[in-house]
Amino acid sequence: MKTNILLRTALSSVLAISASLFGLESAAQAAYICQDGEVCIYAEHNLRGSVLIVKTGTWNFTSNWHFADGTPVNDNASSIINKTDHTAWIYTDFNAQGGVYWINVGYTRELDGQGYCIPDNSMSSIIVYGK
């Protein structure tokens, strides 16, 4: 009987450890879901990874801009979603210079250099026109 309890306890521990190592995503690891009124810029493709949220305005991603995990935003963005009521314009250089691409209202874009979009890890500024 004692051996049976020890075996069940050991098996439960092994299963719990295995589940934590293989594929069960915790709340801390889950991607942020962009809310209405936000432009969400993600460090990884497919709206995954750490996020930076902007609303309306003109922003240069200088050294003081970081994703939620502390990674610098400049030249580190891989995907973006626009949930504002305004078109977002993204640029490869500061001060709205260099390559440009727009993200229409409600759209998601992978920064992959395809379809006239700027390449992965090249975004340095954004403009979201507001009221």
* Total domains present in the chain: 1
Q: What is the mean pLDDT of residues 64-87?
A: 96
Q: Which of 19, 14, 21 is nearest to 6 (CA)?
A: 14
Tell me the pTM: 0.76
Which pair of structure tokens corresponds to residue 116? 């006239």
| pLDDT tens digits, 19-60 | 333 444 444 456 799 999 999 999 999 999 999 999 999 999
Q: Where are the beta strands (DSSP E) in the chain?
A: 39-44, 48-54, 57-60, 79-82, 88-93, 97-103, 108-110, 125-128
Residue 83 within any structural domain of the chain? yes
Residue 25 within any structural domain of the chain? no
Residue 63 within any structural domain of the chain? yes
- Domain with residue 118: its CATH number is 2.60.20.10
Which pair of structure tokens corresponds to residue 21? 């190592």
Counting Cβ atoms within 10 Å, is residue 3 exposed (0-12), middle (13-18) or buried (19+)? exposed
Range of the structural domain that residue 43 is part of = 39-128
| pLDDT tens digits, 58-67 | 999 999 999 9
